[in-house]
Amino acid sequence: MAMKIRLSRGGSKKRPHYSIVAADSRMPRDGRFIEKLGTYNPLLPKDSEDRVKMDLERIQHWLDKGAQPSDRISRMLEAAGVLNRKERSNPNKGTPGKKAQERAAEKAEKAAAASEEATGEA
């Protein structure tokens, strides 16, 4: 059985609340799970202690049995110091989009033209 440690959504519309669960990977997101391992409330401030609550002993137990954490859970575990930080590299994330690049080029042309006029008058 392929086990995952992942988030299961609860709460009402626009007011999410998540449970951290160990579940079979074939089950739906909010469906059947094996064990509840903690909670995550994204509406609380980032520095709040109650934002993420995890039973680290049970999470370590499931990780030792081969359960794979989801992306978000692995980041939470890295912050808690349970997992080593994975190397992430997305060099394209910081580059502006096509329209923004066009606007920047246009702005640079205008600035160059303005500086040429200023030096030509002097």
Please give the full DSSP string across 51-107, using - where no structure is assigned.
Answer: SEEE-HHHHHHHHHTTPEEPHHHHHHHHHHTSSPPPP---TTTTS--HHHHHHHHHH
Only one residue has tokens 């081969």, namely 66
Report the pLDDT averaged over residues 38-43: 94
Domains of the chain: 3-80 (3.30.1320.10)
Whether residue 68 contacts residue 3, with contact meaning beta carbons closer than 8 Å, is answered with yes
pLDDT tens digits, one per residue of 45-100: 989 989 999 999 999 999 999 999 998 999 999 988 888 887 777 777 778 888 99
Encoded amino acid at 27, one letter: M
Chain centroid to CA 121? 54
pLDDT tens digits, one per residue of 10-22: 999 999 999 999 9
